[in-house]
Structure 1
């Protein structure tokens, strides 16, 4: 039998290679069955001591107003909302920052929309939150150079305003700079929100978590991991309850005693009409002393946010 010419052998080799490539591409393009080749994530196993931990956390649960983003934009000026424009009464001075410029509206809570009442919080009226249009979103660092008490007494780049009465038919004009989107802001757009009363148990980032579980001694490594995996839920927006952080709770080192409680928390979140991002997927908190909340005095609020 004559030996095939070299060109013929090369042609066969090329044909074989092309056939193998086609087979590989065909296998990759074939539809996968549901769940095929998907990563399998197992639920964390429950540590043996967890029922005791859970019971102690439940015993120390706090009432809270939980907040969820809705799919729709607000339809009324005074409706509870994140972003957009604040309802504002005609003739009342609009909140300004250190530089005298209007602050940026962040959120408002209309307590008349709530079915029930949270202790020490108002049952009617509108509570609003404004922040600064700067690289720290109006926050100041509380440290040795700026102690908490001096911070509370100074002019700040954020504001918390409470309106006892709301005249829906006569909102005033909103300064244009206050609602103008800016690349420095953490939020864009607007969304309606839903309020519901509930209870809140401590998560590992709230400094009181360790105090609550102190009678049990040191937690096992398994319980530590389970606590972070199951109790550190996100996104979490609320009034009252326990605060959440990506770093650490500043009340654990910058404030004495337990007089400071969570007033309002807004997490990184989004929907079709609204998005908020605190730095690198962070979270913002507003704290108030119990005595000030009872008298509805929001002039001395402590504002903090952190991120990864």
Structure 2
């Protein structure tokens, strides 16, 4: 939704305006990205986009992942050999930060430059394990954007060549995701729950920068903190580790950087109608340390 006034109006229209004072302190600003399907040639080089082909400077290359596969040759005294396989990541989006700056009312993002987002073409990583760190990449370029050139898809990127969309950008607000403990404190009746989630709370296809993540499963901030400190979170192992309790307070430092939804326009399907989330710590964002980011894929 656009702003707090619109939130109040929606609440009032459904007899829920008495919840506004409790909801308002939790509201966060967000930058909504509305894809507009088009041909590649209709998007200027250096323009923000989802899907398609990236516009890179000569100093940057299409990102790849490198995996080492161990094989045992039984006919050679059981000797184990290693094979290194390199394959390209899929290009997800590029964000021209000068186009976004007017919507970043808290000045959280760099005011200039380009952000590029890549993710594993086979979607074989969910963000549970720090060993998946080569399955995604955020590149930041703050040089001369007139030097950018549109890069062809790598020949060995057979799948995950997503359709391009230009972006309509809006500054909006976001509310905590449905599983936030705020809603437990509101003590909604069954009727109020129905009205809130059907008439007030916004769902659907949601692409955004900053603000709250629209979780499909659980909140992700603690998961980011644990995984980036070497704890496995594909089950309860990391959460039950003795180190987890000391790391837990740091979860508050993580911020949603980019959320990309499944959508037909770009032919993006993350798992089963899921979403891809790129996260970064507050100080790393301030210092433009995008190599310290993390990603998570959630789906139903």
Shift in alpha-carbon separation, 1:219–1:177, aligned structure 2, 3 A: farther
Q: Which residue pairs with 1:101 in the alignment?
A: 87
Q: CA deviation at 1:259?
A: 0.9
CA contact under 8 A between 1:204 and 1:232: conserved in structure 2? Answer: no
- Distance in 1 (alpha carbons) for counterparts of 2:169 and 2:27: 19
Paired position in structure 2 for 1:164: 142
Matched, 1:57 2:23: yes
Q: Which has the larger radius of gyration?
A: 1
The Cα of 1:163 is off from its aligned counterpart by 0.8
**Residues 85-139 of structure 1 deviation map (CA, whole Å, 9 limit, x = unaligned):** 1111114344221333222111011112236152220111111100112243xx2
The alignment partner of 2:20 has SS state of: helix
User: What are the equivalent positions in structure 2 for 1:236-251 lying under 5 Å apart?
Assistant: 236-251=206-221
Deviation, structure 1 residue 188: 2.8
The answer to whether the Cα contact below 8 Å between 1:240 and 1:261 also exists between their aligned partners in 2 is yes
Deviations 1:205-248 (A, max 9, x none): 4xxx32x456x453333333333324141111100011112222
CA contact (8 A) 1:247 1:307 kept: yes
Say if 2:100 is the partner of 1:114: yes
- Quick one: distance in 2 between partners of 1:81 and 1:173? 14
| C-alpha deviation, 1:173, in angstroms | 4.9
Q: Which has the higher strand share?
A: 2
Cα distance in 1 between the residues matched to 2:258 and 2:66 = 22
Report 1:129-278 matches (<5 A).
Answer: 129-136=117-124, 139-142=125-128, 146=129, 151=130, 155-171=133-149, 173-174=151-152, 176-177=154-155, 180-182=157-159, 185=160, 188-205=162-179, 209-210=180-181, 212-213=182-183, 216=185, 218-229=187-198, 230-251=200-221, 255=225, 256-257=248-249, 258-271=252-265, 274-278=266-270
CA contact (8 A) 1:84 1:190 kept: yes
In structure 2, runs of 5+ residues without a counterpart are 1-9, 68-85, 226-247
Kept after mapping to 1: 8 A contact 2:212/2:256: yes
Structure with more of its chain in helix, by fraction: 2
State the alpha-carbon separation in 2 of the partners of residues 306 and 245 from structure 1: 8
Provide closer, same or farther for how the CA distance between residues 105 and 301 of structure 1 changes in structure 2, counting only shifts above 3 A: same
SS at match of 2:55: coil
TM-score (norm: length of structure 1): 0.69
Post-superposition shift, 1:80? 0.6
Shift of residue 172, structure 1, vs aligned partner: 7.1
Query: Displacement, 1:82?
Result: 0.9
Tell me the SS of whatever aligns to 1:70: strand
Taking structure 1 as reference, are residues 241 and 155 closer, same or farther at Cα in structure 2, changes over 3 Å only?
A: closer
Number of residue pairs the alignment of both structures matches: 244
Aligned to 1:4: none
Q: Does 1:306 align with 2:292?
A: no
Distance in 2 (CA, whole Å) between partners of 1:44 and 1:280 is: 32
Cα distance in 2, alignment partners of residues 252 and 231 from structure 1: 24
How well do the aligned residues superpose, as a CA RMSD in angstroms?
2.9
Q: Secondary structure at the match of 2:168?
A: strand
Contact residue 119 and residue 136 of structure 2 kept, 8 A: yes
Whether the 8 Å CA contact 1:72–1:191 is kept in 2: the answer is yes
